[in-house]
C-alpha cells in the first residue's frame, strides 16, 4: 500500500492489492464507507446502502483462500436502482415500487459479477424507470460530485456521482439515450457503454429493448478492461497484436448533425483534442456523416416512444396516477406515433448500422462530443442526451473520455466510438488517448 | 349456461358468462381443477399448481362488483415456467432454480393480465430455459394431449398440452424458434405469436432478445382477440372497415425453402387447405420467396447461438455443471461463431424484414406450414422448429390454425402470417379461414 487512502484507488489499482492480501476487503470497504459517510449527505448518490451488509460480504470474501478468489475479488460495485439485486430493494425511483423488501433474484449481470468475486455495495439513484424527462424524480435529487448546485446528469445519476466522488470505484448504469456517457462527463469520470446486446439485460428495467444497454462508470480505462474480461466481451475481428501508437494513428473527428447544439465548452474541447492528437503525430480527419444520419435522432425518439408504449403498459394499468406524466404519455401515445413510423425507424436505422461500421473502420477511433457543455445548474433537469443517442441506437460501443474543462471549471468529456463489436479495440485505443487528454487537456479523472 | 361442463368453454365463451354472473369464477375454476385432477397425472402439463391459491383468487374476484370487473374478469391463464409470477415459483426447468419459493415480482405481462381481472392458474412445463435441444429436460416430461406416447412439442410444452387438453382455456408461452406454433399444432390448438416487441418481455427468461416473443395458446381465434385488446396491440395501418370475406380474397401459399423437410401430413394439409379456400372463392397464389430467404434459417441459428452466449453467462459462472450441455456450449461458443457472423446475420435479416412486409402486403394473408408433420413418437425430442423460425426472426405475427389430420389421426396445423404490426388484421382473417378449415379440414379445435 501507500499513503493513499484506499477509497482513492481505481478498480484496476485495488484488485491486485486485494488479491495479494496487501489490502483486505474489509479495510477497503471501511475506507469507502467513511468516504460515503463524509460526502453523501451532500451528494446523495445512494438510495439504499447498508454498511452491515457490506461488511458481512467483505468478511466472507476475506475468508476465501487464494484459489477461491475470482478475478473481481473484493471489488465494490454500485448498482443503478433499476437492476435487480436479491439482497437489496429495487425501487426504480417509482412510487409503484417503494419498498424496503428485496425482490429475491439477481439480474444476470449481477450473477456474473458476484460469481467472479465482486461485492455489491448498494443501490444508486436513477430518474423514474431510467427515463429522462425534467422533474422525473419523486425522491432523492442527487447532486453533481463537483458542484452541488448542478445536476449529476441522468438517468444513471447516482452511479455517475458516486464514482466521480470516490465513494465507490465502479458503478453499473444503463443507457437508452445518453444515461451513461452524460453523467460520466458531468461528474468528470469515465463511462463505457458496450455494444448493444454484448451483456445480458435480464433483470434490468425495460424501457426500450432496442436501445437499453448495460454499462459502467470508472475512474480509468483500465477498469473497463477488467469488466470487459469479466463479461467476456469479444470483438468481431481478431485484434492486431501490435501495440497501439498515437504516432501515425488515424483518428476521425465527428461533430455530427447535432453540432449546432454544442456549447462553447464542447467546441473548445473538440478543438483542443484535435490539437493534442495532431501534436502526438496522429492523422486527424473530419468525419462527415451522410445525409441520412441527420434523421437518426428523430428515429431514436420514435423508438423511445413506441417501445415505451409497450414497456410501461403493466405499470400504467396497475396505477397510472403513480407514474410520471411523461410515462403515462407513452402508454396513452400522446405523440400519436403509428407503428408504421416505428417500423420505418427500425428499418432505417438497421440500414445505417452497417454503413456506420464501414465508415468507422477507416479510422482507429472516432472522437465525437459527449454533451452540450458542462453540467447545467439545477437538479431537476438532468441534461441533454442528443450527442449520445445516435451511438446508442447505432449499437456501437462508446466511451466517455475525461480531459477537458468548461468555463465554470467543471469537466467536459469527449466520446470515443468504433464499429459494433470492437469494444476491446476501442478500450485499447481509448486508453492511449485518454492518457494524453488527461495529461494535456486540463482535467484529470483523479483530481484529488 | 348449458349442459356443457365449464372446463370445455373457450375464453371468449367463458368471459361473458363470468361478467354477467351466469358462471361464478369459483365454479369455473372448480370445474377446471376437476379436469386437471382427472387428466394431468397422464398429461403432466403443470410443474406448479396449488388449488387453494386458485380458489382464494377466485373468491376475491367473485367479491368484485360489476364496475370493478375488468375485461379479463375471472379468466384462468396458465403461465409457462420461464415467466415470473410473484405468488408462484419460477424454475425454468433448471437445476439452478429448483425452489418452491416465489420470486416476489410479476413479469410485466402478468401485471397487465392481473390488472384486467385475469386469474393466474399455475405454471406449465418448459424445456430448460425454453431452449429446444433433445433431452433438454431434467424433470416433468409432459405428454401430448392427444397421445401420451408422443411429445407435446416445445419449449412451451405444458402450455400447449394444458390448453389442448381443456385443463385451462388460455396459456402463455414464449417463442424463440417455434415454441408456440409447434406445440399448438401438435396438441390441436390455436397458437398466436404476435409481432416481436408488441408485448413487454420484462420478467421473461432471456435467451435471444432479438427473437424471444411472448404469445398465447387458446382454442379459438376469438380468444386471441380478447388478449390482443388486453395488450393493446395496434396495427401499422388503420384496418379497413369492411368485413373480411373469403370470396375474392387474395391468399398466398408459401412453402418456403424448407419445403423438402415437409412430411406427408403437412404436404396433404397444404394441398387440402388450398382446395378448401379456392372452393370458397378465394384467389390462391403460390408465394416464391427471393433467393436470400433461403439463408434465413442459418441466420436464425447464428442469432440463437450468438445471443445465447451472452444470455447464459451468469448461470454458467454460477454452476455450469447444472446446465444442459447445449447451454454450456453456447457460453463456451463450441460452434466458434464470430461476432462478425452475428452482425452479418443481424444486418441481412434486418434487410429482409421490410422486403417480406412489402411482399406480404400483396395478400390478405399468407399460409405456410407450422410443422414437419404430426407430433413424433417419444417425449425427449420436442420436434423440429424449422418451419417456424423464419417468421420469428422476421418479427411478423404468426398464428397456428387448426384443421388437418395426419396419418395417425393426430392434428396438423398450418400457420397464417402477415407483415409486421398487422396482428389485428391477421386475427380477423385467420378467424374466417380457421372456421372453414375446422369445418372442412378434418380436425376441430374442440373435438370433445
Q: What is the pLDDT of residues A98-122, one digit of tens each?
A: 999 999 899 999 999 999 999 999 9
> What's the pLDDT score for residue B134?
63
Asked whether the beta carbons of residue A197 and residue B313 sit closer than 8 angstroms, the reply is no
Chain B interface disruption, residue of A209, A355, A396, A423, most B CBs within 10 A: A209
B291 contact partners, CB below 8 Å, separation of at least 6: none
**Chain A residue at shortest CA distance from B200:** A311
A315 contact partners, CB below 8 Å, separation of at least 6: A94, A96, A129, A322, A323, A327, B108, B111
DSSP B244: P
A320 contact partners, CB below 8 Å, separation of at least 6: A328, A331
CA A232 from centre of chain: 18
Average pLDDT over residues B217-234: 98
Q: Cis peptide leading into B155, omega within 30 of 0?
A: yes
Strand partners, A236: none
Asked whether the beta carbons of residue A339 and residue B421 sit closer than 8 angstroms, the reply is yes
For residue A80, indicate whether it is catalytic.
yes
Question: Least CB-CB distance to B350: which of A200, A232, A350?
Answer: A350
Q: Which has the minimum average pLDDT: A444-448, B264-268, B339-343?
A: A444-448
Chain A interface disruption, residue of B72, B96, B197, B204, most A CBs within 10 A: B197
> What's the pLDDT score for residue A58?
98
**Chain B residue at shortest CA distance from A90:** B105
Cα–Cα distance, A308 to A333 (Å, whole number): 9
Q: What is the pLDDT of residues B29-48, one digit of tens each?
A: 999 999 999 999 999 999 99
For residue B80, indicate whether it is catalytic.
yes
Cα–Cα distance, B193 to B187 (Å, whole number): 16
Give all strands (DSSP E) within B94-249, no chain letters: 119-124, 170-175, 190-193, 213-218
Question: Least CB-CB distance to A310: which of B200, B353, B357?
Answer: B200
**Chain A residue at shortest CA distance from B204:** A202
**Chain A residue at shortest CA distance from B420:** A343
Asked whether the beta carbons of residue A105 and residue B101 sit closer than 8 angstroms, the reply is no
| Helix, strand, coil abundance in chain A, percent, nearest 5 | 40, 15, 45
Pairing of strands A283-286, A250-253: parallel
Question: Least CB-CB distance to A310: which of B115, B198, B307?
Answer: B198
Cα–Cα distance, B323 to B319 (Å, whole number): 7
Cα–Cα distance, B43 to B161 (Å, whole number): 7
Sheet with B365-369, side-by-side order of all strands: B46-48, B119-124, B76-80, B170-175, B213-218, B190-193, B398-405, B411-417, B365-369, B250-253, B283-286
Question: Least CB-CB distance to B112: which of A197, A234, A314?
Answer: A314
Residues of A in contact with B350 (CB under 8 A): 346-347, 350-351, 353
Beta carbon pairs, A and B, within 8 Å: 140
Residue B12: its H or E element: helix B11-19
Cα–Cα distance, B375 to B188 (Å, whole number): 10
In the numeric block, which cell numbers belong to residue B72? 379479463
**Chain B residue at shortest CA distance from A311:** B200
Asked whether the beta carbons of residue B318 and residue A104 sit closer than 8 angstroms, the reply is no
In the numeric block, which cell numbers belong to residue A406? 468548461
In the numeric block, which cell numbers belong to residue B279? 372452393
Q: What is the pLDDT of residues A156-185, one digit of tens each?
A: 999 999 999 999 999 999 999 999 999 999
Tally Cβ neighbours within 10 Å of residue B44. 22
3-state secondary structure of B268: helix
Closest CA to B326 of B380, B270, B290, B366: B380
What is the rounded average pLDDT for all residues in chain B?
95
Q: Is the ipTM of this complex over 0.95?
A: yes
The answer to whether the beta carbons of residues B85 and B120 sit under 8 Å apart is yes
Q: What is the pLDDT of residues B63-92, one digit of tens each?
A: 999 999 999 999 999 999 999 999 999 999
Cα–Cα distance, B268 to B262 (Å, whole number): 10
In the numeric block, which cell numbers belong to residue A227? 469488466
The ranges assigned to domains in chain B are: 6-294+342-440
Cα–Cα distance, A397 to A343 (Å, whole number): 24
Q: Which of A125, A131, A132, A155 is catalytic?
A: A155
What is the rounded average pLDDT for all residues in chain A?
95
For residue A179, indicate whether it is catalytic.
yes
Average pLDDT over residues B11-36: 98
In the numeric block, which cell numbers belong to residue A131? 427515463
Question: Least CB-CB distance to A108: which of B109, B314, B350?
Answer: B314
| pLDDT over threshold 50, residue A433 | yes
Q: What is the pLDDT of residues B154-201, one digit of tens each?
A: 999 999 999 999 999 999 999 999 999 999 999 999 999 999 999 999
Distance in Å, alpha carbon of A430 to nearest chain B alpha carbon: 21
> What's the pLDDT score for residue A242?
79
Cα–Cα distance, B344 to B355 (Å, whole number): 17
In the numeric block, which cell numbers belong to residue A351? 440500414
Asked whether the beta carbons of residue A354 and residue B343 sit closer than 8 angstroms, the reply is yes
> What's the pLDDT score for residue B136?
67
DSSP B219: S
Please give the full DSSP string across A268-293, using - where no structure is assigned.
HHHHHHHHHHHHTT-EEEE-PPPGGG
Average pLDDT over residues A79-87: 98
Q: Which of B157, B179, B220, B386 is catalytic?
A: B179
Residue A25: its H or E element: helix A25-43
Residues of B in contact with A231 (CB under 8 A): 313
Asked whether the beta carbons of residue B347 and residue A350 sit closer than 8 angstroms, the reply is yes
| pLDDT over threshold 60, residue B209 | yes
The answer to whether the beta carbons of residues B139 and B93 sit under 8 Å apart is yes
Question: Least CB-CB distance to A314: which of B101, B108, B346?
Answer: B108
Indicate the angle between helix axes A51-62 and A25-43, nearest 10 degrees: 160
Asked whether the beta carbons of residue A105 and residue B108 sit closer than 8 angstroms, the reply is no
The answer to whether the beta carbons of residues A369 and A403 sit under 8 Å apart is no
Cα–Cα distance, B268 to B61 (Å, whole number): 46
Indicate the angle between helix axes B339-360 and A339-360, nearest 10 degrees: 150
3-state secondary structure of B423: helix
For A126-156, the three-class secondary structure string (H helix, E strand, C coil) is CCHHHCCCCCCCCCCCCCCCCCCCECCCCCC
Which whole-number Å values give the CA distances from B56 to A368, B20, B75, in the listed order? 59, 21, 14
Residue A314: its H or E element: helix A313-319
> What's the pLDDT score for residue B307?
98
Strand partners, A215: A173
Which residue carries 445516435 as its cell? A390
Distance in Å, alpha carbon of A405 to nearest chain B alpha carbon: 37
In the numeric block, which cell numbers belong to residue B375? 407430433
Asked whether the beta carbons of residue B421 and residue A343 sit closer than 8 angstroms, the reply is yes
Cα–Cα distance, A438 to A431 (Å, whole number): 10
> What's the pLDDT score for residue B241?
73
Distance in Å, alpha carbon of A238 to nearest chain B alpha carbon: 10
Residue B3 pLDDT level (bands cut at 50, 70, 90) = low
| pLDDT over threshold 80, residue A240 | no
> At the topology level of CATH, where does A6-294+342-440 sit?
Amidase signature (AS) enzymes (3.90.1300)
In the numeric block, which cell numbers belong to residue A378? 439545477
Residues of B in contact with A311 (CB under 8 A): 108, 200, 202
> What's the pLDDT score for residue A1?
42
Pairing of strands B76-80, B170-175: parallel
Asked whether the beta carbons of residue A236 and residue B105 sit closer than 8 angstroms, the reply is no
Please give the full DSSP string across A78-137, using - where no structure is assigned.
EEETTB-BTTB---TT-GGG--SSPPS---HHHHHHHHTT-EEEEEE--SGGG---TT--
> What's the pLDDT score for residue B1?
42
Give the dihedral of Cα atoms A312, A318, A320, A323; nearest 10 deg: -60
Question: Least CB-CB distance to B103: which of A103, A110, A197?
Answer: A103
Residue B344 pLDDT level (bands cut at 50, 70, 90) = very high
Closest CA to A438 of A418, A412, A417, A408: A412
The answer to whether the beta carbons of residues B169 and B8 sit under 8 Å apart is no
Return the half-sphere exposure (C-beta side, CA atoms, 13 A cut-off) of residue B55.
8
**Chain B residue at shortest CA distance from A396:** B343
Residues of B in contact with A209 (CB under 8 A): 197, 201, 209
Cα–Cα distance, B312 to B75 (Å, whole number): 34
Residues of A in contact with B343 (CB under 8 A): 236, 354, 357, 420-421
Cα–Cα distance, A375 to B354 (Å, whole number): 41
Strand partners, B215: B173
Average pLDDT over residues A126-145: 81
Asked whether the beta carbons of residue A209 and residue B197 sit closer than 8 angstroms, the reply is yes
A335-352 burial string, b = 16+ CB within 10 Å, else e? eebbbebbbbbbbbbbeb
Average pLDDT over residues A417-434: 97
Cα–Cα distance, B447 to A42 (Å, whole number): 70
Question: Least CB-CB distance to A104: which of B104, B209, B420?
Answer: B104
Return the half-sphere exposure (C-beta side, CA atoms, 13 A cut-off) of residue A98.
7
Q: Which of B94, B131, B155, B185 is catalytic?
A: B155
Asked whether the beta carbons of residue A317 and residue B115 sit closer than 8 angstroms, the reply is yes
> What's the pLDDT score for residue A3?
55
Chain B interface disruption, residue of A314, A322, A330, A352, most B CBs within 10 A: A314
Q: Which has the minimum average pLDDT: A329-338, B98-107, B183-192, B366-375?
A: B98-107
Amino acid at each position: 500500500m501507500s499513503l493513499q487512502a484506499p477509497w482513492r484507488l481505481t478498480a484496476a489499482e485495488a484488485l491486485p492489492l486485494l488479491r495479494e492480501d496487501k489490502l483486505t476487503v474489509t479495510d477497503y470497504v471501511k475506507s469507502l464507507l467513511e468516504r460515503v459517510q463524509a460526502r453523501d449527505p451532500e451528494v446523495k448518490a445512494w438510495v439504499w446502502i447498508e454498511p452491515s451488509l457490506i461488511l458481512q460480504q467483505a468478511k466472507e470474501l476475506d475468508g476465501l483462500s487464494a484459489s477461491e478468489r475470482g478475478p473481481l475479488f473484493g471489488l465494490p460495485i454500485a448498482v443503478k436502482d433499476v437492476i435487480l439485486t436479491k439482497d437489496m430493494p429495487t425501487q426504480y425511483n417509482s412510487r409503484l415500487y417503494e419498498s424496503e423488501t428485496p425482490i429475491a433474484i439477481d439480474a444476470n449481470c449481477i450473477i456474473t459479477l458476484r460469481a467472479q468475486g465482486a461485492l455489491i455495495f448498494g443501490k444508486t439513484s436513477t430518474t423514474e424507470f431510467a427515463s429522462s424527462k425534467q422533474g422525473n424524480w419523486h425522491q432523492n435529487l442527487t447532486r453533481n460530485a463537483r458542484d452541488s448546485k448542478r445536476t449529476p446528469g441522468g438517468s444513471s445519476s447516482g452511479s455517475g456521482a458516486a464514482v466521480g466522488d470516490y465513494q465507490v470505484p465502479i458503478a453499473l448504469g444503463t443507457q437508452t439515450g445518453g444515461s451513461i456517457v452524460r453523467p460520466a462527463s458531468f461528474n468528470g469520470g469515465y463511462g463505457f457503454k458496450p455494444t448493444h446486446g454484448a451483456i445480458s439485460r435480464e433483470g434490468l428495467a425495460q424501457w426500450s429493448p432496442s436501445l437499453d444497454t448495460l454499462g459502467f462508470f470508472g475512474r480509468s480505462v483500465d477498469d473497463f478492461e477488467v469488466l470487459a474480461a469479466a463479461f467476456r466481451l469479444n470483438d468481431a475481428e481478431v485484434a492486431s497484436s501490435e501495440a497501439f501508437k498515437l504516432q501515425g494513428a488515424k483518428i476521425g473527428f465527428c461533430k455530427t448533425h447535432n453540432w449546432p447544439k454544442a456549447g462553447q465548452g464542447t467546441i473548445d474541447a473538440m478543438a483542443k483534442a484535435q490539437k493534442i492528437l495532431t501534436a502526438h503525430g496522429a492523422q486527424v480527419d473530419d468525419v462527415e456523416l451522410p445525409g441520412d444520419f441527420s434523421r437518426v435522432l428523430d428515429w431514436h425518439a420514435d423508438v423511445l416512444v413506441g417501445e415505451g408504449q409497450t414497456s410501461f403498459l403493466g405499470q400504467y394499468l396497475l396505477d397510472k396516477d403513480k407514474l410520471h406524466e411523461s410515462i403515462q404519455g407513452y402508454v396513452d401515445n400522446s405523440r400519436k406515433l403509428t407503428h408504421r413510423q416505428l417500423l420505418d425507424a427500425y428499418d432505417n436505422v438497421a440500414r445505417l448500422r452497417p454503413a456506420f461500421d464501414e465508415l468507422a473502420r477507416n479510422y482507429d477511433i472516432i472522437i465525437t462530443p459527449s454533451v452540450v457543455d458542462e453540467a447545467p445548474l439545477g437538479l431537476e433537469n438532468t441534461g441533454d442526451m442528443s450527442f449520445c443517442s445516435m451511438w446508442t441506437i447505432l449499437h456501437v460501443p462508446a466511451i466517455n473520455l475525461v480531459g477537458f474543462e468548461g468555463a465554470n471549471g467543471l469537466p467536459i468529456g469527449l466520446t470515443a466510438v468504433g464499429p459494433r463489436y470492437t469494444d476491446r479495440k476501442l478500450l485499447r485505443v481509448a486508453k492511449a488517448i485518454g492518457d494524453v487528454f488527461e495529461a494535456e487537456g486540463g482535467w484529470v479523472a483523479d483530481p484529488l
